[in-house]
Amino acid sequence: MPVVSTLLATAVAALGLQTAVGIPSVALKSDIVYDLSGAITFGICTLVSLYYPNVRAFGLKRLLENPKLLSTFPSPLNFHPRQLIASGLVFIWAGRLGSHLFIRALKSGGDPRFEQIKKDPIKFSFAFLGQALWVTLTALPVYAINAVPAALQPALGWKDFLGLGIWAFGFAYEVIADRQKTAHSQRVKEKKAEDEPFLRTGLWAKSRFPNYFGEVTLWSGLYVTSLGLLTSANLPSHVYPPWIALAAASGPIFEYLLLTKASGIPPIEKHHDKKHGKNPEYQKYKRETPQFFPKFF
């Protein structure tokens, strides 16, 4: 089935790219490009999900022998608006977050999450394999949209626009949270925040990890957008089986579990506990402030 082969191609691309980045990173024991490579892999896999049907039609070997054939690939105007919107949102998110994390890594010399892991080649290698899985599953709703030819896509509907609104809210929430954190870190660095050793104002007063809440929210929005296609009564049954709409939910679910149970909150909170654990104000902040879901009222 062509659409399934497209989804498999995105998984292979994610694994190949992360392996290529992981080998030198593990050898050098460096995590500087870890987050940046993840963002770039999201972008490339999104392009793969759009153009793999054309690659499959020509054959990879033939394209490598005659790159001029790439000029016959469809222009962006030939894709369905749903595909352009979903893909564009991934590019915006990846460009913003990837550059933000890369600049932060350069300034700080690395990510505290990998302080111990990068010393162990096996564990550090699994971090890159895990990132390939992250790219594959988190953006599955977008890849599922892009794998379906434009001619078979239903018109944009309320699910598409609802998903876009949820994405916009989550993206804005994440950006504001990151900017507040960057500003606080700068104040600490300049020794102008002796009375505020840890961040607990702005969105960080609503929850202890508002950036992660924004992250899960925006991917949930893209899943809702994908339902405009995946739950359409006009989608031919041979394109996707009915359960694919449930399978695509693995995107935001995996993102939530990854951030709250694995590589997100646990190592960062452990780092914060080690740094501020003896501060009674920090202990009060942990007791009174939700970890993930914001306390708006």
DSSP 251-292: HHHHHHHHHHHSSSHHHHHHHHHHHHTT-HHHHHHHHHS-SS
Reported confidence tier of residue 64, pLDDT bands at 50, 70, 90 = confident
Residue 76 has a pLDDT of: 86
Task: Give me the pLDDT at residue 185, please.
Answer: 87
The per-residue pLDDT for 192 is 67
The mean pLDDT of 215-240, rounded to a whole number, is: 93
- Using alpha carbons, list the distances in angstroms from residue 221 to 85, 113, 137, 145, 165: 12, 27, 15, 14, 7
Residue 263 pLDDT exceeds 80: yes
Mean of pLDDT over the chain: 92
* Band of pLDDT at residue 38, cut at 50, 70 and 90: very high
Quick one: pLDDT at residue 181? 94
Percentage of the chain modeled with pLDDT above 70: 98
DSSP string, the chain: -HHHHHHHHHHHHHHHHHHHHHHHHHHHT--TTHHHHHHHHHHHHHHHHHHHHHHHHH-HHHHHH-GGGGGGSPPGGGS-HHHHHHHHHHHHHHHHHHHHHHHHHHHHTS-GGGTTGGGSHHHHHHHHHHHHHHHHHHTHHHHHHHHS-GGGPPPP-HHHHHHHHHHHHHHHHHHHHHHHHHHHHHHHHTT--TT-SS--SGGGGT-S-HHHHHHHHHHHHHHHHHHHHHT-TTS-TTTS-TTHHHHHTHHHHHHHHHHHHSSSHHHHHHHHHHHHTT-HHHHHHHHHS-SSS----
pLDDT at 285: 96
Model pLDDT, residue 195:
66
Is the model more confident about 243 or about 125? 125
Q: Are 198 and 279 in contact (CB under 8 A)?
A: yes
Measured CA to CA, the distance from residue 226 to residue 236 in angstroms comes to: 16
Q: Check pLDDT > 70 for residue 63.
A: yes
- For position 296, what pLDDT does the model report? 86
pLDDT in tens, 162-212: 999 999 999 999 999 999 999 998 888 777 666 678 999 999 999 999 999
108-159 pLDDT per residue, tens: 888 878 888 999 999 999 999 999 999 999 999 999 999 999 999 999 999 9
Task: Check if the beta carbon of residue 246 is closer than 8 Å to that of residue 141.
Answer: no
Q: Is the pLDDT score of 1 beyond 60? A: no
Residue 158's pLDDT is 97
